Amino acid sequence: MKKLFILFFALIFSLSVFSQDGVQEKAKKISDEMSAVLSLDKETSEKIYLIQLKRFIDAQKIRNLYKSDKKQMKVELKQMQNRLWGKLKAVLGKDNMESWSLYKKSS
């Protein structure tokens, strides 16, 4: 029984770590893409990475919390998206955000 408990705990822990790695990879991919498209310096790129990482972690929490209430999940995710754009705009500035929006619409 003790071995089964340890195995279960190890499995849950490894899934948690694995999902965090996926979140980090997504955040890195987006921040790298933004850095390349907008020619960002290293400091700004790191700020973008942290904003994106928090975005994916928060989205994961929202999806888990509102699994059974899809309507509320959409509302929460939309609010999170609006906060994301505000944070990005504060770091990048209006011109870079417009450039990023144009890039995303064209790709």
Which value, in Å, is the radius of gyration of the alpha carbons in the chain? 17
Q: Find the helix or strand (DSSP H, E) in which 27 lies.
A: helix 2-38
- Confidence bin at 107 (pLDDT 50/70/90): confident
In angstroms, the first-to-last Cα distance of the chain is 54
Q: What one-letter code names the amino acid at 14?
A: S
54/44 Cα distance (integer angstroms): 16
Q: What's this model's pTM, rounded to 2 decimal places?
A: 0.76
Give the residue among 90, 93, 86, 81 at the shortest CA–CA distance from 39.
93
pLDDT tens figures, 48-60: 999 999 999 999 9
Least confident of 2-16, 21-35, 51-65, 73-87: 2-16
pLDDT tens figures, 61-105: 999 999 999 999 999 999 999 999 999 999 999 999 999 999 999
